Structure 1
Amino acid sequence: MNWLLVIAGAAVGAPLRYLTDRAIQSRHDSLFPWGTFTVNVAGSLVLGLLTGVSSAQTHLLLGTGLCGALTTYSTFSYETLKLYESGARGYALANVTGSVAAGLAAVWLGAEAATVL
């Protein structure tokens, strides 16, 4: 039964990632992958918030399912490699450092907010 929770979360997370990525990227005339950056930081925030939730089912649905499908390390890696290969090395470096720093900050903020709630 637990796998159904993961599937249900992923069924929402995957299209949400695609639609969010396209909507954000279409608003920027930049090589920087703002869409992927945004979904990864948002997913980190949600995972941080989930630290205050004790329900295993909630973690499966929202943490593993939704956030697992919403966030994307493989696309982050691919986009960073493509930036580097195309000569946009500054954007590649900014993507790596910015994504890690923003993701850590978001998960920390989410965890802190969870303790208040």
Structure 2
Amino acid sequence: MNLRRVLLVAAGGTAGTAARLGLGLVIPDAGGFPVAVLVANLLGALLIGILTARLPKATEMRLFLGTGLLGGFTTYSAFMTGTVGLWADAPLLAVAYAVGSLVLGLAAATLGLRIGRPRAGAAS
């Protein structure tokens, strides 16, 4: 690992975190339900799937976009905090949110991989 790669991840993470904050300002929570976190995590899963299918592992662009930008945009800690916050008032909704986030996140990542996979006979 060299300093350039660390700085690329840091720059991407800064931009991704700012984008998630902006999303949270545009999409408010609905009755304590963390809508913006769900949207960020599902969109991020879709995009990381596309990125994974399109870019080789060790490229600087993948470090910047995947590890940095999308790593900063998506958030496991806010997902868990939102789940715990829901649990206090609506345990069934908290379980639905947690399970739904995982299932939909897997589906989004799978869809992203399919979308990103080069088509047979298509020029790359």
Same fold (TM over 0.5): yes
2: CA distance, partners of 1:33 / 1:106: 18
Bigger helix share:
1
2: CA distance, partners of 1:108 / 1:11: 26
Match of 2:122 in 1: none
Q: Which runs of 5+ in 2 are unaligned?
A: 120-124
One-letter code aligned to 1:48: G
CA contact (8 A) 1:31 1:91 kept: no
The alpha-carbon deviation at position 116 of structure 1 amounts to 3.6
One-letter code aligned to 2:79: F
Query: Identity of counterpart residues, as a percentage?
Result: 36
The alpha-carbon deviation at position 22 of structure 1 amounts to 2.2
The alpha-carbon deviation at position 90 of structure 1 amounts to 2.0
1: CA distance, partners of 2:106 / 2:30: 26
1: CA distance, partners of 2:79 / 2:115: 26
2: CA distance, partners of 1:94 / 1:21: 21
- Aligned residue for 2:117, secondary structure, equals helix
- Aligned residue for 2:85, secondary structure, equals helix
Q: Which runs of 5+ in 1 are unaligned?
A: none
- Aligned residue for 2:116, secondary structure, equals helix
Aligned length: 114
Match of 2:59 in 1: 56
Match of 1:23 in 2: 26
